Amino acid sequence: MNATTTTDQGSTDQGGADLGYSEVEEELRANVRALLADRAPANATLARTEAEQTTDTALWRALAGELGVTGLPVPEELGGAGASWRETAVVLEELGRAVAPVPFFGSCVLATAALLALGERKILPQLASGEAVGTLAVPFAVAPGGAFPADVRVSGGLLSGTVRHVADALAADVLLVPAVAADGTAELYAVTGAAVEPMVSLDMTRQLAVVTLEEVEGILLASGADAATALDAALETGAALLASEQLGVAEWALTTTVAYAKERHQFGRPIGGFQAVKHRLADLWVLVTQLRAVARAGADAVDRDAERALYAALAQAFASGAAVTAAEEAVQLHGGIGFTWEHPAHLYLKRAKSASLALGAADRHRARIASLTHL
């Protein structure tokens, strides 16, 4: 199935959240999972973390060309699938399950959400087709609802400044750069001439970078309230949908650990037969089930544009800790092999931990929930 044939079957007509998966979403999941199993097996991902270029460009081309998932929420007239953010969330679940080293989150979530909020029509088709990769040039730890970033300044129409810890910038063809004009006006630019250098990153499947601009020209996309609104849309959409990727990480941890507990024997019996292991796996199942509900609620809220800020905060307040706990359990319950570099468990723990700090740590989101609900 090519994802460009999908239609939005996820939203409920009653105006409430529908946390289930439609037939279209399940078919999309099956296709993405099959592609990742074929093109991004664990041993290949492990080997790529030792390479200078960690992004899997061949896998990215397959996701864009063969499945057409790089423009799911983009209208068809702009080259997208005309689907929804719910389908995007399903893709993120599978990418998290494989810790796939592709710039999907930066390009298809953060940059796409900002451009959709602006009604932009030139860059968006390129991102939707996968022909170009984009990302939002803000530190990956920036949380929604904060002050407009002031790392980059505008003088004489040229941008100067340094932004550290930018996700997916190494693979990006275009950067969406928040900047502040001389008079203090918030502005958002599209930039192609920035210097991008890799950083030492905890998660080598999503390498961060330093973006440096020295009197660089950019295309002004928005200013004032429009720029701030687009940035908020990108960060809130990102926080809500990041929970789906974290769900994928947690589901891998659960299914892989259950399988290991069935086959690993000690004292003549599978370790899954020991009561202590049973209890830990049962608790992990409950945690992943709760995480699935939270992630689906976040994706549905973004898709319906209903209380997006609140559900984004709720998603990260819960998902950050849940994914880390699941990954830690996978490492520990795998015993000695779980602590080795040869086993992929450490990749999932690193992804879970780095994601727990992305777009604001859990305490920031809990504080925002309190503010939004007037507690």
Question: Phi and psi dihedrals of 152, rounded to 5?
Answer: -115, 135
Q: Please give the Cα distance from 15 to 203 (Å, whole number).
A: 38
Both tokens assigned to 270: 């599978």
In our burial notation (b when 16+ CB lie closer than 10 A, e otherwise), range 287-325 reads bbeebbebbbbbbbbbbbeeebbbbbbbbbbbbbbbbbb
One pLDDT digit (tens) per residue for the chain, 375 residues: 454 444 343 443 445 667 899 999 999 999 999 999 999 999 999 999 888 788 999 999 999 999 999 999 999 999 999 999 999 999 999 999 999 999 999 999 999 999 999 999 999 999 999 999 999 999 999 999 999 999 999 999 999 999 999 999 999 999 999 999 999 999 999 999 899 999 999 999 999 999 999 999 999 999 999 999 999 999 999 999 999 999 999 999 999 999 989 888 778 788 777 889 999 999 999 999 999 999 999 999 999 998 999 999 999 999 999 999 999 999 999 998 888 989 999 999 999 999 999 999 999 999 999 999 998
Q: Which residue has the tokens 């509900």?
A: 293
| DSSP summary character for residue 63 | I
Residues 6+ apart with CB under 8 A from 321: 356, 362
Q: Please give the Cα distance from 241 to 235 (Å, whole number).
A: 10
227 closest CA partner among 215, 238, 219, 239: 219
332 closest CA partner among 264, 243, 245, 269: 264
Q: Please give the Cα distance from 68 to 129 (Å, whole number).
A: 7
pLDDT, residue 13, reads: 41
**Residue 209, strand partner residues:** 166, 198
Long-range contacts of 260-263 (CB under 8 A, 24+ apart): 260/333, 260/334, 261/333
**Residue 24 contacts residue 6 (beta carbons within 8 Å):** yes
pLDDT, residue 16, reads: 61
Q: Which residue has the tokens 């999907």?
A: 104
pLDDT, residue 1, reads: 45
pLDDT, residue 9, reads: 39
Question: What domains lie within the chain, and their CATH numbers?
Answer: 3-132 (1.10.540.10), 152-227 (2.40.110.10), 230-372 (1.20.140.10)
pLDDT, residue 247, reads: 98
Question: Phi and psi dihedrals of 186, rounded to 5?
Answer: -75, 135
100 closest CA partner among 242, 200, 254, 248: 248
